[in-house]
Structures are given as C-alpha cells and as structure tokens.
Amino acid sequence: MTERPPHGSARPGGRTARTRAAVLAAAYEELDRDSFAALTLDRLARRSGVHVSTIRRRWRTVEGVVVDLLAEHSSTLPTPDTGDFRRDLTQLAQAIADFNNALRNRNVIQGLLVGAAHDSRVEEIVRAAFVRRTEEVTLIARQAVERGEIPKGTEAREVIAALAAPLYYRVLVLRGFIDERLVRTSVETTYQAAIAGVFVPEGEGEGEREG
Amino acid sequence: MTERPPHGSARPGGRTARTRAAVLAAAYEELDRDSFAALTLDRLARRSGVHVSTIRRRWRTVEGVVVDLLAEHSSTLPTPDTGDFRRDLTQLAQAIADFNNALRNRNVIQGLLVGAAHDSRVEEIVRAAFVRRTEEVTLIARQAVERGEIPKGTEAREVIAALAAPLYYRVLVLRGFIDERLVRTSVETTYQAAIAGVFVPEGEGEGEREG
C-alpha cells in the first residue's frame, strides 16, 4: 500500500472509501424510488448515515454525487472485444440498452440532463463524462480498422456516436424503452455506414475507400 | 363565418388569434434572452400584454405555451420533396440542424425535455409532438420506396429516427452544435442503411432485399 491510491478512494476499505460507497449506494437507492428532481443532499445524508456537511464538502451538489455514481457504474461496463466488429457493436448497444432501460439509470441520465440545462457547470461535467466514456469504447472501431473490417481513416468517435445516438434518441426524445429491434437496427445502421466509409473524413483514406 | 373555426384560432385576425400570436411571440423573445427555467406565466403576461389569467386559462402552464410554440414553428418546416431520396434527407437534416442551432430553439427543446423529466403530462405532450412531426416527414421514405430507391417494406419512421437521432444526440447529450460534417454523416449513414434494407422488419419485403 505504498502506491498513491486512485483519486477519491483513499485505500480500499478505508473510511473515505466507505463514505463514498455509502453515499453512492444511497443515491442509487433513492433514484430507484423517486425522480432526480426529488433528490436532495439531506435525503442522501439520511439514507447513507453520512453527515450532510461531509457530503457537501466532497461532492458540493446532488449533481456532483450523481455524476460520480454514473462514472462508477459506466466504468464497470467492459469495452467489448470479441474480435468481430459487428459482434462488438451488438454487445455495446445491448449494454447501453440494459443500462438505460433500468428505471434508476434513466433517472440518473434524465436528472443530469436537467441539471445540464440549468447549470453550465453541470453541463460541462455531463459532456466530459460522455466524451470520456466514448473515448474508451472507440477501441471497438480502432481494432476493426486494424483487422481491416472497416476503412483506414475511420473516425472512431463518429462510429460510437452513430451507434449510441438512436438509443438515446429513443430514451430522451421519443421517451420510450430500447427494444431488441432498435438495438439491431442501430448496430446494422452503424455497421453498413462504417464499411461504406461514411466515417472517413474527406481527404483521408481514399485509397481504402476505393478498394 | 358559419363554419367552426380550427381549434384555438377563431378567425384569422380575430381576438383569439391575436392573443395567441402575442403570447407565442413573447415566449419566443423571452427564450432568446433567457433559459426555459427562467420563463414564467407572469413574464409572458408582462411581455405580451395579455392578462396572466387569460394565458393560464388557455395554456395552463409555461410548458403548454412552449409546446404550442414548437408546434407552430415545426409546422412551418416544409417536408422536403425533391424527387431524390438523398437530397430529401439532406434538406431535412439541414432544417433540423438550423432549427437546433438557434439558441432560442435549443432553449425550447431543452426546456421541454426538462419539463418531461419532471411531469408525465409534459412528457406525453413532447412525445406526441415528436411523433406527429416524424409522421409528417415519413413522406420522404415512403416516396423513396415508391420510386424504388429503397426496398419495399422499409419502416419509414425508423428512417426518420435514424436521420434525426445523431443530430439530437449532439445537442442533448454531447451538448454541442450540429456542424456540416454531422449533417453529412447522418444523411449518409441513414442512406446506406436504408438502401441495404436495415429498416425492413424481418419477414417483410425479402424479395426486394434480394433484388
């Protein structure tokens, strides 16, 4: 235990880690019963047994707690790596679907977007969280390029956004659940576009697009 | 004037129509200066010169006014009909981009989604508004099927959702503006998927998919 512990965790099982676990668990439970709008630092304090001033010192706001919760949960989502581009896309789309179809996660996402609309600080946190997660899973597209499944020069972030967009559009705009059919069409749409070279910016990788 | 006037409009130029125009114009101006969160019935009354009780009687809530505003503006968006599927998709994507890149429209959309997250009545109104607008522009896909540009059995609503999703994902999740590149990749992604038969539900139109 001489290495520097990861940010915000002290050592595993230490008091800081226990506090964090308790508060995040409390937030997760509250969001399973009630919307984000109903969540307050006082409610988190009551359920977690952690003093409200401790919560405020560490996370500042309810949005801060929920962003931490989202980071915790999405970091446990593995990046698919099956050796097959279409299968990787399917696993990722299914993971996003499963996540967003759970009521409390829906509440987390909706709450963060509400917060983002009201507060540019929260907006920046939300943006950064999505950018970070997208960056992680671009591995899928980068490996597909390496295996020669999709053209060189493919913009990996565009591939991931194309896959995720229809799923979030269903949840946030059409206000529905993500069904099997939508997972399939999102995967196929992204796959067909990627192999057709849609995500290769103009002026890059022409050789591959012709070939 | 013996016919029943259309809902909520009395006769053009009549007092009801003038009231509606004044309140919607006031909402549009307010949303160009401030976020949806700052909008109140009192502010609308002050700016429009319409009594707050009249506004409340007619629209009930701020969300009601803004949904009406959204309906008004999106009904002025024509459905592209150029005779060419890809060109129609491009015009529609560009119209969605122009709409969402205007600050006040962003505020309208964000405000409605905030309202939807808080209130299931608003959620239903937002859902219905997007479903109605989607239904209108499905003409693009239906005509492309008729012209033989995309396979028979193509689910027109899926085509429109595929086109719109990346644009709203950029605005609502990635919190950015819709640039030219995103318009182009959304069009091409939808186009490639549509001609590949991705939007034909299983068990339908196989003959055409083979051909």
Percentage of residues in chain A with pLDDT exceeding 90?
53
Tell me which chain A residue has its CA closest to the CA of residue B186: A162
CA-CA distance, B176 to A108, in Å (whole number)?
21
State the DSSP H helix or E strand holding residue B193, giving kind and residue range, or none if neither.
helix B180-195
3-state secondary structure (DSSP) of residue A59: helix
State the pLDDT at residue B191.
Answer: 98
Tell me which chain B residue has its CA closest to the CA of residue A184: B198
Contact A169 B165 (CB under 8 A): yes
Ordered structural domains, chain A, with CATH: 15-69 (1.10.10.60), 77-210 (1.10.357.10)
Q: B37 — contact with chain A (CB < 8 Å)?
A: yes
The beta-carbon neighbor of A164 closest among B116, B127, B169 is: B169
The beta-carbon neighbor of A118 closest among B37, B166, B188 is: B37
Q: What is the pLDDT along chain B (211 residues), one digit of tens a residue?
A: 334 444 444 455 688 899 999 999 999 888 888 777 788 999 999 999 999 999 999 998 888 898 888 878 776 678 999 999 999 999 999 999 998 898 888 888 887 887 777 777 778 878 888 888 889 999 999 999 999 999 999 999 999 999 999 999 999 888 889 999 999 999 999 999 999 999 999 876 544 444 3
The alpha carbon of residue B161 is apart from the nearest alpha carbon of chain A, in Å, by 7
Handedness of CA A181, A182, A184, A189 (dihedral sign): positive
Contact B192 A196 (CB under 8 A): yes
In the 8-state DSSP scheme, what is residue B112?
H
Q: A7 — contact with chain B (CB < 8 Å)?
A: no
A200's CB contacts (< 8 A; 6+ apart) are A151, A152, A153, A154, A155, A208, A209
CA-CA distance, A172 to A113, in Å (whole number)?
9
| Long-range contacts from B139-144, C-beta under 8 angstroms, 24+ separation | B139/B79, B139/B81, B140/B79, B140/B80, B140/B81, B140/B85, B140/B88, B140/B89, B140/B92, B141/B85, B141/B194, B141/B199, B143/B81, B143/B85, B143/B88, B144/B85, B144/B88, B144/B194
Tell me which chain A residue has its CA closest to the CA of residue B161: A166
Instruction: Estimate the crossing angle of helix B15-33 against helix B52-59, to 10 degrees.
Output: 100
CA-CA distance, B186 to A193, in Å (whole number)?
10
Q: Which residue has the higher pLDDT, B192 or A118?
A: B192
**Residue of B22, B180, B177 lying closest to B105 (CA atoms):** B177
**Residue of A28, A30, A24, A74 lying closest to A50 (CA atoms):** A24
State the pLDDT at residue A106.
Answer: 83
Structure-token pair, residue B102:
């205007």
Q: A21 — contact with chain B (CB < 8 Å)?
A: no
State the DSSP H helix or E strand holding residue A128, giving kind and residue range, or none if neither.
helix A120-137
The beta-carbon neighbor of B165 closest among A116, A165, A192 is: A165
State the pLDDT at residue B63.
Answer: 82
Q: State the first-to-last Cα distance of chain B, in angstroms, to the nearest integer.
A: 56
State the pLDDT at residue B208.
Answer: 44
Contacts of B141 in chain A (CB under 8 A): none
Q: B36 — contact with chain A (CB < 8 Å)?
A: yes
Q: B10 — contact with chain A (CB < 8 Å)?
A: no
Contact A193 B192 (CB under 8 A): yes
State the pLDDT at residue A130.
Answer: 84
Please state, in angstroms and as integers, the Cα–Cα distance from residue B62 to each residue in B5, B28, B58, B108, following that order. Answer: 25, 12, 11, 11
CB contacts under 8 A, A 124-163 vs B, are: 126-127, 130-131, 158, 161-162
Cβ–Cβ < 8 Å for A133, A109 = no
Cβ–Cβ < 8 Å for A38, A16 = no
State the DSSP H helix or E strand holding residue A164, giving kind and residue range, or none if neither.
helix A156-168
Structure-token pair, residue A208:
């591959």
In the 8-state DSSP scheme, what is residue B150?
S
Contacts of B172 in chain A (CB under 8 A): 113, 168, 172-173
Q: B179 — contact with chain A (CB < 8 Å)?
A: no
Structure-token pair, residue A34:
């009630």
